[in-house]
Amino acid sequence: MAKEAPLAIVVCGDLSKAISGAGSDYWVQDASAATENLLLAAQGLELGAVWTGVYPIKERVKEVQKILHLPEHIIPLNVIPIGYPAENPLPKDKWKPENVHYERWTKGK
């Protein structure tokens, strides 16, 4: 997708700015929230955009780092190709009531 798109944004985490200790992986949540905001903004502009995962697959991380000449402490989370969609399919209906649990986990639901 990125090859065909006129634009791609790479969302990265800067590990030199990450907090230390048990919260060091919070950069993933922060970058994920930023990515979701970016995807919503693209949709609002009637652009097509898709989250293509990079992290935590080491081979993908290394390849993106190589292509963009990123230092070791800059970790790409994803690549977001953006452009005008060739088609506008209806949203997929992924609602499954059996995936919702109330007050406690219920087996077989």
Q: What is the pLDDT of residues 36-51, one digit of tens each?
A: 999 999 999 999 999 9
Residue showing tokens 């190589």: 66
The predicted pLDDT at position 91 comes to 83
Residue 102 banded pLDDT, cuts 50, 70, 90: very high
| pLDDT value, residue 108 | 65
* Domain residue ranges in the chain: 7-99
Q: Rg for the chain (alpha carbons), in Å?
A: 17
Any idea which of 58-67, 73-82, 95-104 has the lowest mean pLDDT? 95-104
Rounded-to-integer distance, Cα 31 and Cα 29, Å: 6
- The per-residue pLDDT for range 72-92, each reduced to its tens digit, is 999 999 999 999 988 888 888
d(CA 50, CA 9): 10
pLDDT tens figures, 16-30: 999 999 999 999 999
CATH number corresponding to 7-99: 3.40.109.10
Let me know: does 54 contact 76? Beta carbons within 8 Å: yes
In sequence order, what are the residues at sequence separation of 6 or more whose Cβ sits closer than 8 angstroms to the Cβ of residue 91?
Answer: none
35/57 Cα distance (integer angstroms): 18
Q: Is the pLDDT of residue 5 over 80?
A: yes
Half-sphere exposure of residue 10: CA atoms within 13 angstroms, side-chain side: 18
